[in-house]
Amino acid sequence: MNKLLPFLLLISQVFSAQNIAQKLDAATKSLLGSSAAYSANLSFYVADEAGNFIYEYQGNTGLSTASTQKIFMAAAALETLGKNYQYTTTASFSGEVSSGNLSGNLFIKSNGDPTLGSWRYENYKPEDFKAKLVQALKAKNITKISGDLIIDDSFFDFQTTPGGWPWNDMGNYYGAGVWGVNWRENQFDLHMNGKEMKGTNVDLPNVKWVNKVKTAGSSDQSLVFTAPYSDVAYISGTLPAKSLTVSGATPNPPLTFGSEIKSWLKEAGIQFNGNVTSTSMQEIRGEKLTYAPEKNSILEYKSPTLDKIIYWFMRKSVNFYGETLIKTLGKEKKNEGSFEAGVAYLKEFWKGRGINPAMINFADGSGLSPQNYVSARAEVQSLLWSRKQPWFNDFFEGFPTQGNGMTMKSGTMKDTKSFAGYHTSTQGKKYVFAIIINNYQSSNSSDALYKVLNVLK
């Protein structure tokens, strides 16, 4: 009898897997048989924790996946850079300091820290950087700056947003671009009272607004349009007749940052009458680029560690973090801080982990571009590989709990919905899964996918 136990256990597991597969197939066909899915396309793949196949429907089919693509970016960043990786922002000066007078320029330079001035991290908020910068200037007994304030944002290339991003997304907070020096997650808040503009929380130097908002409805249906380096901003759509805040993408974060530093200098009693500029603006104007000097550093400011960044990247689906990370990987591994270099490395990385490159046609680091095409099977393969890595707990901690009670990353764009994650059933079965649907013609796409995934509960 004892010799039969392993065999009986194996038979039980096989029948259990077959039963789950049958239920998943029935739920999948029910979904695809609905009127909303008449022209939809679905990619679905389920495995157990050991990677054994459970069920698939067009598992190899590449679809626009939205933010579940972040699982590829997060895992590659943790493995390549290490969970303790930190970005660095420095303050330095040219010229000499004599009798309190800096007869030269003040420079701020960064290697792309996406958390600089973020509100998400304790002890890393805007006021924390302000205090450290002012303290550093006073430690050098600087009471007057005779030159300019130059934000050296040359670490990455000039292109701040990936090609292929929809124009409707780029001016909104979730479509913020990436500079060599970023500030407040390159996001600003526009205070509105109905259709009336009441101002922004930060200075947007030289920006002129075109306001075409109408008052209607009970929710925010507005769109903000800003373009990188542009001095024209446009808001349209509808807003309810009450006070609320609309968040947009800062068109020129280095200049916004410089404007804020200028106000700090005044508050601290440090005389400054020079210009605020950046290396990117010098390039736009055809001027000679003025880079931060290697010497005369007065401040080295470190970001939170990468594991903390990945947590917010995954938990709140911060697209800006994904695009900063893709440029960082490009710079670190291909010596080119561009989206193209980062995407090329990301593809190579996952191909090296056994994923067929035909199933991972990345276009950016966040999933916002509709030109991304990824299959459910590829997502499951990446999740299975990540589960075996020493940093897995930090990776998994960022996965949110969705409306059906399952812990998984979600992705949402127009006519796109996806989920990917790990789940332990009430019977103790551990599943790894991904499901992506495109062109589902209903607003309840989440509920439709929940009905399929609930089979795994």
Rounded Cα distance, 203 and 231, in Å: 12
User: What are the E-state strand segments in 167-252?
Assistant: 187-193, 196-200, 208-211, 214-215, 221-226, 232-239, 243-249
Task: Using the predicted structure, report yes or no on whether residue 127 has a pLDDT greater than 80.
Answer: yes
User: What HEC string does 312-378 produce?
Assistant: HHHHCCCHHHHHHHHHHHHHHHHCCCCHHHHHHHHHHHHHCCCCCHHHEECCCCCCCCCCCEECHHH
Q: What is the mean pLDDT of residues 111-125?
A: 97
Q: For the chain, which residues make up each domain, given as ranges?
A: 20-83+307-456, 86-304
Q: 3-class DSSP state for residue 455?
A: helix
Answer whether residue 7 shows pLDDT above 70.
no
Report residue 280's pLDDT band, with 50, 70 and 90 as the boundaries. Answer: very high
In angstroms, the CA 74 to CA 80 distance is 10
CB 56 within 8 A of CB 377: yes
Look at residues 418, 453, 452, 456 and name the one whose alpha carbon lies nearest to residue 28. 452
Residue with tokens 């050991």: 50
Whether residue 54 contacts residue 17, with contact meaning beta carbons closer than 8 Å, is answered with yes
- Dump strand ranges (E) for 49-170: 53-57, 88-93, 97-98, 101-102, 106-110, 144-145, 149-152
Q: Is 20-83+307-456 assigned to CATH 3.40.50.280?
A: no
Helix (H) or strand (E) run with residue 411 in it: strand 408-413
Fold assignment, 86-304: D-tyrosyl-trna(Tyr) Deacylase; Chain: A; (3.50.80)
Compute the radius of gyration of the chain from its Cα atoms. Answer: 25
pLDDT bin (cut points 50, 70, 90) of residue 167 is very high
Q: Tens digits of per-residue pLDDT, 191-222?
A: 999 999 999 999 999 999 999 999 999 999 99
The span from the CA of 317 to the CA of 411, in Å, is: 9
On the question of pLDDT at 30 being above 90, the answer is yes
Which has more confidence, 408 or 9?
408
pLDDT at 9 over 50: no
Looking at this protein, which amino acid is placed at residue 389?
Q
Pairing of strands 149-152, 187-193: unpaired
| 86-304 shares the fold of 20-83+307-456 | no
